[in-house]
Structure 1
């Protein structure tokens, strides 16, 4: 596996939510340290064209437009899932309040709607997880955990939303569920939902500053509603939160994250085999991303696209607005970069990567012996994005 692309100049976002539709990746909301997240304004949307590797910001609705009142407010700690090429946003918060309204974004029209739902709606929260499980009878989004703002506690509950009926259900599961936690990950593999990591507390649902980080992996069988804690072997990752999880080629991958007890950020990559229940540390080639947390990792085909997140600032930086529960006044650097990890890079891709690493600064693109399509790919892999500061301010100020 090779890290083949590293580009700066994209949206500077942390704790955002992202999904892929077609050959585009849509990133919703998040924060950038130093900005105002108490005032309500429409959530920003950034779109990555995975062919050209260019970002663009979608226009925001203005006051007086119908979309201004429908669109979700700018937030962080929310989730995004895809169902039938539409994107569903749930939960999250700004500095004033958390939310529990379901929003739907249509990438064809770039319009928001608020689907009508019934049933037992989960309480407002952030730091939860969401994934979609497809079966013969239903297509269901499962919500697990998070921090419930209204009652000031961690959660270990599971809610489901059946997309066919748009009905919420509070699920009574069997056996002991994962401990109360937030900022974990949930990954759908077949009819199972795998939970890894997150921040918990020795006092259960209540935050007492006695944090702990579980390194066990668990899964919910969504058919039987039974929780399982498989016995695992191998190189088990250190417990962490605010990491990324993604599925490819039969493996569940974990990248990055943070452990406050060790005051350590990570940029390691581990993979879990759900058949053999074995963990393995993965060695990659190329320029590995900085140690970071709260980034997004999205898989399309044989590539994974990583962007955003925050890292310890080597030369100062802004105080962390991690959330009001974090006891550490950490100085963090928010990222605007994009990294691409190739699971099975072609020989052509490896050659292009070598050109970008060693020759692009010597005006190789001016040479006539290179075909135009090769020049285009080199430009896409090496020229930074130009989402300008003025545009960032227009979007978030």
Structure 2
């Protein structure tokens, strides 16, 4: 659809990478992350949260209170029963293993630090992933540090030889940890089967009772392998695709878009090239299929992706450059990927909203509910002029 020529000025969330986003109701919530300025990492304010209306495309910002987490990047975020949970991450004081939650529904945005009652808290880490299953959050992998006394199993932790010092060792892990917010308890189930290699900056998604991971950095390489963890039996299995597959990568995203399919986008290739390709993986047929999309000129890494309306995937932020080599390239645009055919109502709403100047006389004649939906979509199709950075 052709955008209208009228421009509007509005707030736009700051460019960032390594942030967290969740969708709750009709809003995409954005918190944290960092930008690079003159070779310095600047962590973004921790006392604000950005809301993106998925229908209108309009941003708003809200202040946060309570036990506010430190400003950081690389934490793992998810939504459970109207609350956003974040765990891990790395800030000015290094990596953390603290867990926080905030209610997104009461509009007060008051953080709460979750103090565990029982069980052992995972070691500090960042660049991990998680699943939400049976009202629990389940965390996998990441890059972090352990004391010498904590190195009990070489299958679960690979030491980064370039980073260890004295009795503190940094490295990659393939551990699975479960947090139950009803009891504030941690547990570490024993897993079986073919375990994936320890890794970080991978991507994960969940389908039913099965958690999936794809790719990530395994020591000095980046992979595109796919593993599945049965969340009832805690048994790992590797899925061997029977088709052409994406190149190995890290800092990409994986999003469930149907009962049997996952959408992969972007990342950093093994030769350190920012990627803009999109792929759909069918877990039943074990086939990858590259998805044609309009954002081939918008590579992204260390971005986020969430499931929106009608199986849309909403990608926000990230970097278009290799962030370890340059101090520019952070993004703040929301890319909307259509992964499934739209229903007739969505097609009609978008068509009318995209040509609202043509239908000005007819709009008041629409049923009230439909007219309200079209008016919100009209705002989405009207381009916004970006204000200067809010920082």
Normalised by the length of structure 2, the TM-score is 0.80
Greater shift, 371-380 or 140-149, is seen at 371-380
Separation in structure 1 between the aligned mates of residue 385 and residue 198 of structure 2, nearest angstrom: 40
- The 2-side partners of 1:331 and 1:370 are apart by 50
1:276 Cα shift?
2.1
Deviations 1:312-342 (A, max 9, x none): 3xxxxxxx654xxxxxx24641111112223
Deviation at 1:113, TM superposition (A): 0.8
Alignment CA distance shift 1:355-1:291 (3 Å):
farther
Task: Show CA shifts across 1:118-141 (max 9, x none).
Answer: 21100111001111122xxxx321
Alpha carbon RMSD of aligned pairs, Å?
Answer: 3.1
- Three-state SS of the structure 2 residue aligned to 1:152 is strand
Query: Equivalent residue for 2:99?
Result: 102
Aligned with 1:229: secondary structure? strand
Q: Cα 1:263–1:40, aligned 2, differ >3 Å: closer, same or farther?
A: closer
**Aligned-residue offset at 1:11:** 2.8
Q: Report the Cα distance in structure 1 between the residues aligned to 2:235 and 2:64, rounded to whole angstroms.
A: 43
Aligned to 2:263: 253
Q: Decide which of 325, 341, 350 is 2:337's aligned counterpart.
A: 341
Equivalent in the alignment of 1:123? 123
Within 5 Å, which residues of 2 pair with 1:1-397?
A: 9-34=12-37, 42-61=46-65, 67=66, 70-107=67-104, 108=106, 109-117=108-116, 118-134=118-134, 139-150=135-146, 151-201=169-219, 211-250=220-259, 251-259=261-269, 261-284=270-293, 286-288=294-296, 290-302=298-310, 303-312=312-321, 322=324, 329-330=325-326, 332-342=328-338, 343-346=340-343, 365=357, 368-369=360-361, 371=363, 373=371, 377-384=377-384, 386=386, 388-389=388-389, 392-393=390-391
Please name the residue that 1:206 is paired with.
none
Structure 2: runs of 5+ lacking an equivalent: 5-9, 147-168, 365-370
In 2, the alpha carbon distance for the partners of 1:352 and 1:10 equals: 26
Distance 1:253 1:8, change over 3 A: farther
TM-superposed CA distance for 1:115, in Å, is 2.4
Corresponding pairs, count = 349
- SS class of match (1:378): helix
Change (3 A) 1:386 1:152: same
Q: Which has the higher strand share?
A: 2
Unaligned segments of structure 1, at least 5 residues? 62-66, 202-210, 313-319, 323-328
CA separation in 2, counterparts of 1:352 and 1:19? 25
**Residues 351 and 157 of structure 1, relative CA distance in 2, 3 Å threshold:** same
SS at match of 2:377: helix
- Shift of the 22–376 alpha-carbon distance from structure 1 to 2, 3 Å rule, reads closer
Q: For the structure 1 residues 368 and 355, does the alpha-carbon distance in structure 2 shift closer, same or farther, using more than 3 Å as the test? A: closer
Per-residue deviation at 1:95?
3.7
Superposed displacement of residue 25, structure 1: 1.2
Q: How far apart, CA to CA, are the structure 2 residues paired with 1:333 and 1:255?
A: 17
Say which SS state the counterpart of residue 88 (structure 1) adopts.
strand
The SS at the match of 2:379 is helix
In the TM superposition, what is the alpha-carbon distance from 1:348 to its structure 2 partner?
Answer: 7.1
Secondary structure of residue in 1 paired with 2:139 = strand
Post-superposition shift, 1:40? Answer: 9.6
| Per-residue CA distance 1:332-380 (angstroms, 9 max, x = gap) | 41111112223323567667878999xx8xxx84985463655653332
Is 1:181–1:199's contact at 8 Å kept on the other side of the alignment?
yes
TM-score by length of 1: 0.79
| Deviation sequence 1:140-183 (CA, Å, 0-9, x none) | 21111111145311111111112333211123211341112110
| Residue deviations 1:265-288 (CA, integer Å, cap 9, x gap) | 11111111112222211223x455
Q: Distance in 2 between matches of 1:331 and 1:113?
A: 33
Residues in 1 aligned to 2:303 and 2:42: alpha-carbon distance in whole angstroms: 22
